[in-house]
Copies of this chain bind each other. A is one copy, B any other.
Amino acid sequence: MPLMKSWVKTANSADCPFPLNNLPYGVFETADMDPRCGVAIGDMILDCQAAEEAGLLDLSGEPLFDVPFWNEVMEEGPELWAALRARLTEILAEGSADQAEAEAFLVPQADATMLMPFLVSEYTDFYAGRHHAYNVGCMFRDPENALPPNWLHIPIGYNGRASSVVVSGTDIRRPWGQLKSPDHALPAFLPCRRFDLELEMGAIVGTASDGPITLDEADKAIFGYVLLNDWSARDIQAWEYQPLGPFQAKATATSISPWIVTKPALEPFRCNTPAREFELLPHLRDTGPMLYDIDLSVSLAPAGKAATQIAQTNYKEMYYSSAQQLAHHTTSGCPMNVGDLLGSGTISGATKSERGSLLELSWGGKEPLTLDTGETRSFLEDGDTLTLSGAAHGDGYTIGFGTCTGTILPALDDPYKR
């Protein structure tokens, strides 16, 4: 599929993240406008609320865009999703009969502040990148037993905290927590010293279910994808995680990129999961390509200084697809709801420059990373701005995710002082 041309001219370049082929969904506000749903096209946003009020987007008979989140569209189901995409494509395509009317509903992205694109029902994070799991296993166990025995058979996941999911651009306050250093007998309550990022993709559940679903049903149930940074307090995690898993270490914040890139935009980039040592059990076995070829990178900018790209990898490095994660999530009968968010798990490639966390990049702090500015990093410092970027590269066009950023604020002197 080539670049599809739009009458929004900035959308028609090979490196524009938001061509007509993409049409990602977000929520924005401006100085003059309350929060509302919008669609990115070139350097503009189509104001869906205004377009709907003008009768340009009358798809279901009921208003879809009278609320500032995409959950209502998701609730309508895949037929509406397809009809909406088709209609948006028609409106924004070069030569569209709707151009004159729709032009009035375009807002420059430069004037907009992006907000959370959907209400997160529940949030689950997985541990499904093989290189990441291997690296972590080497550090905390040994290379011979790096992967836990279950790892090659199920996508290991744990429930996270939906209340802590924030949109890109939200500052991240370094947390306090209970820590115990190996050279102390007792724990202490202190600001986190090993605060980290995790480069992930987030899959958004668009169709509810109330019992086990097949892999194909799971693939169909996913509405779209975002970039996701699962901020992690490694020292809090080390002390708390046995035996029931990470808890406060992962509860400070999880940032997501503001634009939901939908499955149809990613369709040309489907690819297979890697070769497996053990065939998966039938309910998890691949039925087709359900991963995506999406280039990902991480940059770190110290306060007031230039950014250094610290990692570059690809979503296709995952061992399990989001569809496999969602199918596994339902095996016990667990009800899934519209707006559930599934983090892929940290995405790392085989080489050092492809590692999606500072834990891996600095090998637990033993091999600090040198930035282009000359500074070194084992873990995040106050004032650091982290930026995840992602894009799938087609033949003469780009499907961009935009960025997912966050700046580390220093821990409060006294977290209990109001």
Spell out A's residues near B (CB within 8 Å).
121-122, 127, 148-150, 153-154, 156-164, 173, 175-178, 180, 186-189, 211-214, 233, 236, 239-249, 251-253, 278, 281-283, 328-329, 331-337, 340, 415-416
Establish whether residues B281 and A334, one from each chain, have CB atoms under 8 Å apart when the complex forms.
Answer: no
Q: Once the chains are docked, how many angstroms separate the CA of A233 from the CA of B156?
A: 16
Q: List 6 A-B contacts (CB under 8 A).
A: A150-B240, A158-B159, A164-B334, A175-B332, A244-B245, A249-B332
What distance in Å separates the Cβ of A407 from its nearest Cβ neighbour in chain B? 15
Q: Once the chains are docked, how many angstroms separate the CA of A148 from the CA of B278?
A: 33
Establish whether residues A281 and B188, one from each chain, have CB atoms under 8 Å apart when the complex forms.
Answer: yes
Establish whether residues A332 and B236, one from each chain, have CB atoms under 8 Å apart when the complex forms.
Answer: yes
List of B residues within 8 angstroms of A157 by Cβ: 244, 247
Whether A159 contacts B160 in the complex (CB less than 8 A), given A212-B415, A251-B333, comes out as yes
Q: Once the chains are docked, how many angstroms separate the CA of A189 from the CA of B285?
A: 12
- Top 7 A-B residue pairs of the complex, sorted by shortest distance between their CB atoms: A245-B245, A251-B334, A159-B159, A248-B332, A175-B332, A244-B245, A158-B244
Establish whether residues A247 and B158, one from each chain, have CB atoms under 8 Å apart when the complex forms.
Answer: yes
Q: Once the chains are docked, how many angstroms separate the CA of A233 from the CA of B332?
A: 9
Q: Once the chains are docked, how many angstroms separate the CA of A163 from the CA of B341?
A: 13
What distance in Å separates the Cβ of A74 from its nearest Cβ neighbour in chain B? 15
Q: Once the chains are docked, how many angstroms separate the CA of A367 from the CA of B264?
A: 56
Looking at A148, A164, A240, which has the most chain B CB atoms within 10 Å of its CB?
A240
What distance in Å separates the Cβ of A342 from its nearest Cβ neighbour in chain B? 12
Establish whether residues A245 and B243, one from each chain, have CB atoms under 8 Å apart when the complex forms.
Answer: yes
Whether A331 contacts B239 in the complex (CB less than 8 A), given A159-B161, A212-B415, A282-B189, comes out as no
Establish whether residues B189 and A251, one from each chain, have CB atoms under 8 Å apart when the complex forms.
Answer: no
Q: Chain B residue with minimal CB distance to A345? A: B244
Q: Once the chains are docked, how many angstroms separate the CA of A126 from the CA of B160?
A: 14
What distance in Å separates the Cβ of A362 from its nearest Cβ neighbour in chain B? 21
Looking at A122, A180, A213, A249, which has the most chain B CB atoms within 10 Å of its CB?
A122
List of B residues within 8 angstroms of A213 by Cβ: 416
Establish whether residues B122 and A161, one from each chain, have CB atoms under 8 Å apart when the complex forms.
Answer: yes
What distance in Å separates the Cβ of A339 from its nearest Cβ neighbour in chain B? 11
Whether A415 contacts B121 in the complex (CB less than 8 A), given A163-B337, A251-B334, comes out as no
What distance in Å separates the Cβ of A358 from its nearest Cβ neighbour in chain B? 18
Q: Chain B residue with minimal CB distance to A148? A: B242
Q: Chain B residue with minimal CB distance to A166? A: B335
Q: Once the chains are docked, how many angstroms separate the CA of A240 from the CA of B159?
A: 13
List of B residues within 8 angstroms of A253 by Cβ: 333
Establish whether residues A158 and B158, one from each chain, have CB atoms under 8 Å apart when the complex forms.
Answer: yes
Establish whether residues B245 and A332, one from each chain, have CB atoms under 8 Å apart when the complex forms.
Answer: no
Establish whether residues B156 and A178, one from each chain, have CB atoms under 8 Å apart when the complex forms.
Answer: no
Q: Chain B residue with minimal CB distance to A281? A: B189
List of B residues within 8 angstroms of A177 by Cβ: 331-332
List of B residues within 8 angstroms of A416 by Cβ: 212-214, 283
Q: Once the chains are docked, how many angstroms separate the CA of A252 from the CA of B211?
A: 9
List of B residues within 8 angstroms of A336 by Cβ: 163
What distance in Å separates the Cβ of A320 from its nearest Cβ neighbour in chain B? 13
Establish whether residues B415 and A211, one from each chain, have CB atoms under 8 Å apart when the complex forms.
Answer: yes
Q: Once the chains are docked, how many angstroms separate the CA of A247 from the CA of B160?
A: 11
